[in-house]
Structure 1
């Protein structure tokens, strides 16, 4: 399994199908995350200005995550105005974390998140933020184990759930003496 930056030669159709497969279990719980059924054009829009990472195994995309800097205050986040956290200078935004159901339980999500956090730190961001469904306790626990803390909430237009906003302070690894 290789985690690498998304390349222009990678298929956004394949990436979109990966997102659909990964988010299907959330849809089955009644949560209409954007990635459940987003068209390829929305995938392209969500990646604009972002650094995406993909996991690949035997030429097949098996995981992905995107990270970007803060949104300008007037720019929409999908279809809504961004929460203040997402416009705060020094804040990177993590989104579209997905692992194909056939590849879960192998630590792939952790590798993808680590790649996104390392990229954000290398770009000079001091914190990284995300949102996820408030009732998605397993997802929230995953982020909490990585040092994310809940700092607020948001109700995205058209979503069947309320979301929590989570943030993690980024710090360079301690030097080993």
Structure 2
């Protein structure tokens, strides 16, 4: 049975980082060097700092993850780059590091992880949730659009082989 739960301090960040690498390998094969493709464990830890992580667990094995946090303080870097204004806007939660093990894709794991992240953001009183993804990743963009996310801008992260779109979704009170 699949369980979605908050990331616990007892969860192994080495295992979580390996899950990110495995989950993002298909994107790397398309030439997109997402940070999660090869980030070291210390970057996983940094990306989770100040965030609420969630994991999907199946039979005692981590098969998915997502992180969500509030807005970054103005001037705080985002993976080495200045944060785009959207990510520093009060009332904005930021969704990141969504990953589902390839063996578990197509089973609703990603949707349940996003549901958990959005519910957390709503419960914290955030008015909207934002994310970025590769502009050429049409399937990923469509996935978010089906959930009500709209493209509100773009960004070129330093060292990335692709331009990113910034997407946001209003969070209702219920």
The TM-score range, normalised by the shorter chain, is: over 0.9
What corresponds to 2:37 in structure 1?
Answer: 36
- SS in structure 2 at match of 1:44: helix
CA distance in 2, matches of 1:166, 1:160: 19
Per-residue deviation, 1:123: 0.2
Query: What's the offset of the Cα at 1:74?
Result: 1.4
User: Over residues 33-59 of structure 1, what are the superposed CA-to-partner deviations in whole Å (9 max), with x where a residue is unaligned?
Assistant: 000000000000000000000000111
Tell me, in whole angstroms, the C-alpha distance in 2 between the residues paired with 1:169 and 1:45.
27
Shift of 1:172: 2.2
Runs of 4+ in structure 1 displaced over 3 angstroms?
none
Secondary structure of the residue aligned to 1:86 is: helix
Q: Measure the CA separation in 1 of the matches of 2:46 and 2:127.
A: 25
Instruction: Give the TM-score normalised by structure 1.
Output: 0.97
The structural deviation recorded for 1:80 is 0.2
Q: What TM-score does the superposition give when structure 2 sets the normalisation length?
A: 0.99
2:162 paired residue number: 161
C-alpha deviation, 1:70, in angstroms: 0.2
2:126 corresponding residue in structure 1 = 125
User: 1 CA distance for matches of 2:153 and 2:92?
Assistant: 15
Match of 1:171 in 2: 172
C-alpha deviation, 1:82, in angstroms: 0.2
CA distance in 2, matches of 1:40, 1:58: 24
Task: Check if 1:109 corresponds to 2:107.
Answer: no
Alignment of 1:16-165 (within 5 A): 16-165=17-166
